[in-house]
Amino acid sequence: MPVSNSNMRNPDSFVMNEDTVNIAVADFLEFNGFICDPPLSGRQPGIDVKARKNGVSVFVESKGSQKNGAISDDEVFNHGQIVNHLARQIHTLMKYASQYGESSNLFVLANPDIQRIRNEFERVKPMVDKMQFVCFWVQKDKSVLVEGPKSNEDLLSTVELY
């Protein structure tokens, strides 16, 4: 069940839903020269953001810190929901990697850069790195911080994301 951000012991520094994450990521990729399909919104099924540049395809699975259409800006996902969403992101990217697993493709988890999501991500980061997944951390100003395993540095440099 969602919780009130302002009532949490350590409130999130900002609140962002999945649609906003998708738009920020698509804008970031287009700014960096990628051709982007329109990002998904609402509960549309499929790849949240898909883009390509120089023979590299990017498949993004996004989550937010609150649901799309939340009644209040103060309503955010609780800890259990954050953990569940991260697990679902990784599972979805594993499916995409199985289906589209060419070595020139990037598989990306995109999330708002809030401490609660970062904390949970850090618990599984070694395995995420082994799977060669990249992270896009969307900032409050909707800029994007790119982090990935050393094994992806050359590919990220090729498409000018590093």
Q: How many domains does the chain have?
A: 1
Residue 65's nearest CA partner among 139, 147, 126 is 139
- Give the model confidence (pLDDT) of 19-77 as tens digits: 999 999 999 999 999 999 999 999 899 999 999 999 999 999 999 999 998 888 899 99
Question: pTM higher than 0.85, yes or no?
Answer: yes
pLDDT at 40: 96
> Which residue segment(s) compose the domain that 54 sits in?
3-158
Query: How far apart are alpha carbons 9 and 32 in whole angstroms?
Result: 38
How far CA 92 is from CA of 10, 47, 64, 140, 153, in Å, comes to: 29, 9, 15, 25, 23
CATH code at position 28: 3.40.1350.10
User: Rounded CA gap, 105 and 98, in Å?
Assistant: 11
- Please say whether the beta carbons of 66 and 17 come within 8 A: yes
